[in-house]
Structure 1
């Protein structure tokens, strides 16, 4: 049953849902792209702190202890080293191990927003597979002199040992991520230049599915992703297209009042039977299916009792809803609606802007009179096609490409598919159909 706790709009006490802040200064603006988040993930994978901080004193010691013929040589080396470090910290890397030296944004408040994304991504895709992912990355590391020096210039901090915050809601997605990462690592050069796009796509996939599926309450589907349709950002668009109806417009509506779910899931999490946190609506449905209808009805009744004895007492404009043997889903929906009305419009606005910032930075296409649209860039698309097809000398029948992309969150309508075929043909990644009518194949990009 729901515990007898005081009512407050409290998120992240029992359940972590999204990595979005409700305060503007803490919002990640992604001016440096997703690379600060990616770098923190790579540091932790390498058994280091999630933070990167340069030890300038160590830099000076390296320069002073170096053996130089003359002072001009020493000065030239010092200048080279500092310039290279600055370039790497700005994201201009050419070695895999250099990717981890990109710091969080210097603005401490915005860095908090990046940290939220780090925890979300790490918990969903890395934590449960850390040893396997370490093994994958160890095969692409090639320690050189500059990387050795960079390691010496890092301020020593404690290794990452924080407990999980977010729940892995989509096991199939996590499994696919690791498989794709292994394929991507077969081409270290491609990995270095496209790892950020790869991380962004899986983050987008997890966020959009979590939002859409949570809005389905007990009908949350953890195995079959809901199609959120993307345009290719180089193509023309029309209002009748699926990308307009089931893309940005759909997500905007799905997320409009999503903040209410954050609080309801935390209210429900103050129950007396769940040993661990991070339960979503479908988790309760699964639990009570095993416990039986009598236990489920007792829990439903306790929700309405909590509304009457706690929520309505503390908030004047809340009218209790009488218990009339409602279903579990009806109880959840009633509670969400009551909480939704208590959240101020400005909070919804700041919260939704945090998600919108992510979409605008990585998936926005200006549709003119159609407004903002959801679109994937050719580079993002080719990164995901690369892992769909597989390593060098692999090929994939074109007809199967679309299903493989959908496993990775890339849903396209028929018109966009034609644009993709044209793009692949232009780049010579497509085997032409023979006169005998054989199927077309997409060639390996890696």
Structure 2
């Protein structure tokens, strides 16, 4: 569970769970490439060497051999290989977005975050859609790459999730979308952006709650993007953007310390902090005493090393702790102290990952609203997507059941936003109102 020999690392850095690093250049992502990486993991297919141009040549050869019309190919080329129409044949073809150019380290790290969220899950059956003869030939040519049974790299399948509850919903929602391939294709990018936000936000809100076992969905309040964000919205104000921004500051320091305590094998199979603590706490009494001694020694060496490197503004002294929980808590506190504006000299190194996450990953869900400041928002397209995911295989749900499904995924709305949601659904025409009572309002999916 712990490293055999705990030695304080000289640098603050880690490679597990989130793509967080301390330079601005590390937050330049290509979301098309990330989508392609995700598709190759989801459908468990190796990244092929063929790019779109070489695939187009293979399709030309295949189709011209079967259809004796000279001018047909030039028409098909314009139909499917211009303006991304090719990717509407099948979601799996989105894999080509990851092979058009060399994949950057930034995109690989973001892909690894989604691999962890998938936690080894893949769809064994590709989505079936109504393809015409020519589209079926394109799909068959694509499938021919994989007759050897090549799979995605195993190292990505073994990455753990920090949030098992969210992974469960991610699998459920992807399985549902896989049964609706046209809807999946049109919403694939929105889907990964949505779950990228949910994974980071719920990890941030759970990161300090490591003593209570497996994480649960924590309140994170949004408004609809056409709503006013008045300061009277107490839940939005207290448990919205302000809370999230505060907790994001703990991700880099806590995940660094979590990784520093554990043996890092070639598969980067690091346990979440909550799981590490649970396992350490389940040891017998002799093992716990040995673990506590190692943690206290490590804490003392860590503080001495950081003091010598002048990482603190204020004097720091390690005091031996009497329990594993207290020792880990003290380690996290002193780790964070390096990055705190008052006590540490590394505040700017933590601000970079915070700004990187906010500006490059979380930004589709953040708006500035005058005196109310920054708020978390959902636009109408995302509301429709989230609604369809929440209803899933059901035809309809009672509105209060729908709200519970939202909250289970980490999306909370106050009473005012809930009424705005009902009004929105009524304008869409997917509401059945049995009475004026909210309990008698049913919402139908649109797919």
TM-score by length of 2: 0.81
1:216-271 Cα deviation digits (max 9, x unpaired): 2323542x211111111121111232223211111110012421112211221149
Q: 2: CA distance between counterparts of 1:5 and 1:191? A: 47
**Is 1:304–1:323's contact at 8 Å kept on the other side of the alignment?**
yes
**Is 2:89–2:135's contact at 8 Å kept on the other side of the alignment?**
no
Find the counterpart in structure 2 of residue 332 from structure 1.
328
1:25-48 Cα deviation digits (max 9, x unpaired): 231445xxx443233222334443
**Is 2:36–2:96's contact at 8 Å kept on the other side of the alignment?**
yes
Q: 1: CA distance between counterparts of 2:82 and 2:305? A: 58
Find the counterpart in structure 1 of residue 261 from structure 2.
268
3-state DSSP of counterpart to 2:296: helix
Report 1 or 2 for greater relative contact order, CA contacts < 8 Å, sequence distance ≥ 6.
1
Find the counterpart in structure 2 of residue 25 from structure 1.
25
**Is 1:97–1:143's contact at 8 Å kept on the other side of the alignment?**
no
- Across the aligned residues of Structure 1 and Structure 2, the Cα RMSD in angstroms comes to 3.6
Pick one of 305, 311, 315 that aligns with 2:297.
305
Q: 2: CA distance between counterparts of 1:236 and 1:92? A: 41
Which deviates the most, 257-266 or 92-101? 92-101
1:183-222 Cα deviation digits (max 9, x unpaired): 3344333232223323332332222222221222323542
How far does residue 422 in structure 1 lie from its aligned partner after superposition?
0.4
Find the counterpart in structure 1 of residue 220 from structure 2.
228
3-state DSSP of counterpart to 1:373: strand
Asked if 1:291 is matched to 2:287, the reply is no
How far does residue 292 in structure 1 lie from its aligned partner after superposition?
3.5
Asked if 1:362 is matched to 2:359, the reply is no
The alpha-carbon distance between structure 1 residues 284 and 179, as it changes in their structure 2 partners (threshold 3 A), is: closer
Pick one of 81, 92, 97 that aligns with 2:91.
97
Find the counterpart in structure 1 of residue 244 from structure 2.
251
How far does residue 171 in structure 1 lie from its aligned partner after superposition?
2.9
Pick one of 61, 78, 81 that aligns with 2:77.
81
3-state DSSP of counterpart to 1:387: helix
**Is 2:43–2:92's contact at 8 Å kept on the other side of the alignment?**
no
Q: 2: CA distance between counterparts of 1:114 and 1:332? A: 32
Q: 2: CA distance between counterparts of 1:216 and 1:432? A: 40
Q: Which runs of 5+ in 2 are unaligned?
A: 340-345
Find the counterpart in structure 1 of residue 128 from structure 2.
139
Find the counterpart in structure 1 of residue 343 from structure 2.
none
1:372-387 matches, cutoff 5 A: 372-387=374-389
Q: 1: CA distance between counterparts of 2:423 and 2:49? A: 42
Which deviates the most, 258-267 or 48-57? 48-57
TM-score by length of 1: 0.81
How far does residue 55 in structure 1 lie from its aligned partner after superposition?
5.8
Q: 2: CA distance between counterparts of 1:104 and 1:369? A: 42
Which deviates the most, 397-406 or 187-196? 187-196
**Is 1:304–1:320's contact at 8 Å kept on the other side of the alignment?**
no
Aligned length: 425
Q: Which runs of 5+ in 1 are unaligned?
A: none
